[in-house]
A and B are shown apart, each in its own frame.
Chain A
Amino acid sequence: MNEPHDLVERVDRLEACEAIRQLAARHALLLDARDLTGLAELYVPDVQVPDGTVGRAALAAWFRDGLQPFGVTFHLVGGHVIDLDATDPDRATGSVSSRQEYEDGDRWMVVAAIEEDAYQRVEGRWRFASRTTHAFYGADLREHPLQAEDRWSFDEPPPGLTRDLPDRWPTWRAAWGGPAAEPRRA
């Protein structure tokens, strides 16, 4: 019976998308609540940490170190593109538009970013296999984003954030030529 089998696969894909959407929402909530143990559990057990270490405890420690300079944070999750792997039902990739705010001493930093994610289903649960955050700018709430040098006025950026949009995209570079951070005065 092909039809019921087909239906199971279709339901499985819908469940995968829903679970992956939940991952992005939980990541923001747990980060803002500084539940870094819970945050690390959203990742695969053998997650590669950017500092070269491996595993959830190491990831939580890396977040802890990187977030210490900051006070209150607010992560607003927007559009979420999800691409399920056509050949491997336990893998997917995605990107998430995100507005992030960081209390940084007497500054209130606003970041417009896109998270680039890989997801993996491990023992029936969808997790982040990796996540990198690519920012358009990071500037004080009261500051024009182009006034900040390289559109990035953090002394020490939050963990995992790189200011490399839109330059990072070959399609953008093809359209505009040079890097976005160059002053565009005549």
Chain B
Amino acid sequence: MPDDADDLRARVARLEAGAEIAQLPARYARAYATMDGPALGELYAHDTATESQGRGREAIAQRLADTGHGPAGLRTTILHPGGHVIEVDADDPTTASGHVHSRAEVERGDGTWYYQAIHYGDRYVFEEGRWRFHGVRDHELFYGVEHGGAPNRLPDAHWPERSVGRGSVPHRWSSWHAWTDGLPHREQTQPKEQ
């Protein structure tokens, strides 16, 4: 029955989309660990715009290379992606969005070590036969902290200006505002500027 076959084909396509998109954060982590710019570039749509390196996959590769030198450069990057929420767009099965929690450990060029708790807000697009990141990932910090330290009472990191400090989540989320507004009066957990 062709209707059943079409339905089944569509369901398998959705499963394949989910499985391929779930691969992207793991491949991203491997590309950062290995400092493999071309492999990282392949994970992105061909016209991806970067902040200061221009557009395209070579720009993505250059963006990674630019992090890899100097005392503050990413000498060792260990990314441990966790939960991945994936939502394929209902009206366009070739685009999707996602949320990824990730824990990072980083050795800087100067031998110092820090941790970050990260939320990535992602867009994905099916392009040239593969699912890819659509635009640079929206890397948001819960916090970054030096080895041996704790995030309590850290000032705002103003990420990406600084790697350690408090970040923009969860405070940016409307549900967090509703939560804090409903709490009995207590000390604010918002970071204070120092």
Contact for A15 among B11, B80, B83, B99, CB less than 8 A: B11
List, in ascending order, chain B residues with CB within 8 A of A77's CB: 82-83, 101
CB distance from B113 to the nearest CB of A (A): 14
Consensus secondary structure, chain B interface: mixed
Say yes or no for B151: interface residue by CB 8 A criterion. Answer: yes
List, in ascending order, chain B residues with CB within 8 A of A32's CB: 101, 119, 142, 169-170
Say yes or no for A117: interface residue by CB 8 A criterion. Answer: no
Contact for B143 among A11, A35, A38, A72, CB less than 8 A: A72
A72/B142 contact (C-beta < 8 A), A34-B175, A142-B150 known: yes
Say yes or no for B194: interface residue by CB 8 A criterion. Answer: no
List, in ascending order, chain A residues with CB within 8 A of B99's CB: 25, 29
List, in ascending order, chain A residues with CB within 8 A of B183's CB: 68
CB pair B178–A34 under 8 Å, yes or no, is: yes
Contact for A74 among B18, B142, B176, B184, CB less than 8 A: B142
CA distance A108 to B143 in the complex (A): 12
List, in ascending order, chain B residues with CB within 8 A of A14's CB: 15
Say yes or no for B162: interface residue by CB 8 A criterion. Answer: no
CA distance A81 to B184 in the complex (A): 39
Residues of chain A from 56 to 106 with CB closer than 8 A to chain B in the complex: 64, 68, 71-72, 74-78, 99, 101, 103, 105-106
CA distance A3 to B156 in the complex (A): 59
List, in ascending order, chain A residues with CB within 8 A of B169's CB: 32-33
CA distance A103 to B142 in the complex (A): 11
Residues of chain B from 115 to 163 with CB closer than 8 A to chain A in the complex: 117, 119, 142-143, 145, 148-153
Residues of chain A from 13 to 57 with CB closer than 8 A to chain B in the complex: 14-15, 18, 22, 24-30, 32-36, 38
CB pair B15–A18 under 8 Å, yes or no, is: yes
List, in ascending order, chain A residues with CB within 8 A of B51's CB: none
CB pair B80–A76 under 8 Å, yes or no, is: yes
Contact for B151 among A11, A38, A99, A103, CB less than 8 A: A103
List, in ascending order, chain B residues with CB within 8 A of A26's CB: 83, 85
Say yes or no for A7: interface residue by CB 8 A criterion. Answer: yes
Q: List 25 A-B contacts (CB under 8 A).
A: A4-B4, A7-B8, A11-B12, A15-B11, A18-B18, A18-B19, A24-B83, A25-B83, A25-B84, A25-B99, A29-B99, A29-B101, A30-B175, A33-B173, A33-B176, A38-B175, A74-B117, A76-B103, A77-B82, A105-B152, A108-B150, A108-B152, A140-B150, A141-B145, A142-B149
Question: Hey, which bits of chain A sit against chain B, CB under 8 A?
Answer: 4, 7-8, 11, 14-15, 18, 22, 24-30, 32-36, 38, 64, 68, 71-72, 74-78, 99, 101, 103, 105-108, 140-142
Question: Hey, which bits of chain B sit against chain A, CB under 8 A?
Answer: 4-5, 8, 11-12, 14-15, 18-19, 80, 82-86, 99, 101-103, 117, 119, 142-143, 145, 148-153, 169-170, 173, 175-176, 178-179, 182-184, 189
